Structure 1
Amino acid sequence: MPSEGGAGPLIRIENVSKSFGTFKAVDDVSLNIEKGELFALLGGSGCGKTTLLRMLAGFEAPTAGKIFIDGQDMAGIPPYDRPVNMMFQSYALFPHMSVEKNVGYGLKHDGMTSAQRTDRVKQMLDLVKLTDFAGRKPHQLSGGQRQRVALARALAKQPKLLLLDEPLGALDKKLREHTQFEIMSIQEKTGITFVVVTHDQEEAMTLASRIAVMDHGKIKQVGTPTDIYEYPNSTFVAGFIGSINMFDGEVTKTSGDVATVQIAQLGGPIMVPAADSLSAGTKISIAVRPEKITISRSRPKGPNSFSGTVKDLGYFGKDSLYRVKMPSGTLVMVNSVNARRAAESERVAQWEDDVWISFDPQSAIALKG
């Protein structure tokens, strides 16, 4: 059994399941989260991420398994006795209270003197850069400012663990991107462990030091953003994180560190890195990110080159997304960075242009499940 405090991960989740009647929301999850991490639980609606968060907070009890926080078994310990605080998606601010009173509300029963509470509130408002707004009411603040008040209130009690449930869901895209970096900065300054629940892949990739991807109550993969994006361990994770092209194929041969895979959708063989599990006759899926594919008007040198026709083109300023139709009818997404200013007529390709697409063998991800 884990020791009381000290060494080891801050959170140890051991074979935890949670059922609601016949529905299993969390299914035999085991996970360690280290002290000082900014950890993300990522998945779609109904995947179990919020239920797992609520079990950490103490709002739900596991049907099976155990949860340890700083070495202590949380079984039977109510939310108010856990070294945990939670920031809700709605922010749950008191509309009749000023910003400083909202931030200091949770300190009333902590045995602190009035002077100590005032000092702590000032520290928190300085941390979230809202000192000049201390006297305002929530309705006098922007969405981003209300979000920071909620964060300051959650941090004021100095919990060992802060849980954030879709913390940026109510913000517009530009403000959400700005606030992501603010949260990262605040987490780094405080050293408090943050666990963030989100369905937004970009948010998880930006915020977290590590990510757990969940689906149907199970954890599919845990890793750094780079691990999850560049080295997914399944077709589900590859398809859930970012945009990706997925092709079905069969290994025809392996030679050294290269495998040849026949891909009917592309109309020929491709070369990919040969993993130990790949051998002739193996049925696999090949995943290639759109930004790893090059589009050109002339046939490039090297392997993994195929001809097609541009059927769709989206211009997004910093980049362009092409959908290239192969002779098989398969549409391949290609993302091209607009590295220099160019007129529309100067783009690499236009609608209905015949083009070539190509990608480096090392950019292909071979997946068996």
Structure 2
Amino acid sequence: MSEPATNIGAKVAQFPRAAALAEKEPPFIRVEGVTKRFGSFTAVSSVNLEIRKGEIFSLLGGSGCGKTTLLRMLAGFEDPTEGRIFIDGQDMTDLPPYERPVNMMFQSYALFPHMTVEKNVAYGLKHMDMTASQRADRVREMLALVQLSDFSHRKPHQISGGQRQRVALARALAKQPKLLLLDEPLAALDKKLREATQFELMDIQDKTGTTFIVVTHDQEEAMTLSSRLAVMDKGRIMQTGTATEVYEYPNSKLVAGFIGSINFFEATIRDVRDDVATVDAPELGATVEARAIPGLSPGQPITLAIRPEKLTISRSKPEGPNAISGKVRDLAYFGKDSLYRIELPSGRVLSINSVNSRRVGENERVADWEDAVWLSFDPSSAILLKD
């Protein structure tokens, strides 16, 4: 089910335009003040959320953050302790799962091992008001959609993990739900297959127009798949936005630390002029400049955050406001990039990712173990966080 890289890039690029168009319509899914308690434990706390029609929306967070509980409430498998859930303008809060225009694809795929691929896809249609001919047509349509027409008479153990995932997806889409819920849909796949299947899911969603909500703990998966995503922690939504918004402009240390790798430094605001803040960062051993955020004042404590790929490493001191000296303590080569761990004069160690943009030998690296180096970063790449 592979497709040219140019097509994949085009699909990803379409997300901002699709999101802009969808903003003009009322929200397709509206979660209002939803809380779920199990005895004295609060699994989901006062969640408010709006999801647009045709989005791939991801709920992202670590184990126990409440994302699966929220998904199960959308499906009707759990009842909210408080709050309401609306889908396509209709209050679904008190409706059982079989009366909701929703289907769910489970992490295990839950295929029947004794049934063929064709019969697995057809299983959910047997109670629908359809003729046998209509069911057969629908099954053929779904198998063609996931490119498994040639595997219709095989059983689950006779196909690969990625193909089983597509059978489960075809079965979930066969009933033409308005909303498809996917609980860790790619967790059982190996890394390369998972990466390829992400784009297959995007392609299938684009063809069907079905709204997808994906639960995942995988940051890269959420950022690749999603038109928007929500980061959850301790039952609350901490930030909602596009992958770019959440990664580049996190609203807290928690979100910044959860999405990707990042270096944190305690600092103090020295001065703010226009959109640039001058920041004293003792652990960096320097006063640096960063893009200002609203509400800053001189003397205010702040957290300065810099992502490893935003730092540049060199042997000579660079020009510009943010130059920091250090020494290479550790070096790891990953092929496409190298990770440097640099010890600063303060004793603090920070991480840097340097892209290996050309093929070089071991003696041609930017720096090696124990080398004295200089680090630099653009003021716009630094993140200032109050929380």
- Which residue number in structure 2 is paired with residue 3 of structure 1? none
* Residue of 220, 232, 256 corresponding to 2:250: 232
Does the alignment pair 1:46 with 2:64? yes
Distance across 2 between alignment mates of 1:255 and 1:242: 30
Shift of 1:314: 1.0
Structure 2 residue ranges without an equivalent (≥5): 1-24
Letter in 2 for 1:72: Q
Does the alignment pair 1:288 with 2:306? yes
Shift of 1:72: 1.0
- Which residue number in structure 2 is paired with residue 312 of structure 1? 330
Shift of 1:80: 0.8
| Partner deviation per Cα, 1:115-145 (whole Å, 9 max, x = no partner) | 1001100010001010000000001111100
Does the alignment pair 1:249 with 2:273? no
- Which residue number in structure 2 is paired with residue 338 of structure 1? 356
Other structure's SS at 2:283 match: coil
Structure 1 residue ranges without an equivalent (≥5): 1-6
Does the alignment pair 1:132 with 2:146? no
- Which residue number in structure 1 is paired with residue 172 of structure 2? 154
Shift of 1:294: 0.1
Does the alignment pair 1:186 with 2:209? no
Aligned ranges 1:1-369 → 2 under 5 Å: 8-369=26-387
More moved, 248-257 vs 342-351: 248-257
| Partner deviation per Cα, 1:5-35 (whole Å, 9 max, x = no partner) | xx62111000000000111000000000010
Aligned length: 363
- Which residue number in structure 2 is paired with residue 4 of structure 1? none
Moved over 6 A (4+): none
Shift of 1:260: 1.0
Letter in 2 for 1:247: F
Distance across 1 between alignment mates of 2:346 and 2:385: 22
Letter in 2 for 1:271: E
Q: TM-score, normalised on structure 1? A: 0.97
| Partner deviation per Cα, 1:281-314 (whole Å, 9 max, x = no partner) | 1111011111110000000000111110111111
Larger relative helix fraction: 2
Other structure's SS at 1:14 match: strand
Percent of residue pairs identical: 69
Other structure's SS at 1:265 match: helix
| Partner deviation per Cα, 1:121-172 (whole Å, 9 max, x = no partner) | 0010001010000000001111100000000000000000000000000000
Shift of 1:334: 0.7
Distance across 1 between alignment mates of 2:345 and 2:220: 33
- Which residue number in structure 1 is paired with residue 7 of structure 2? none
Shift of 1:344: 1.0
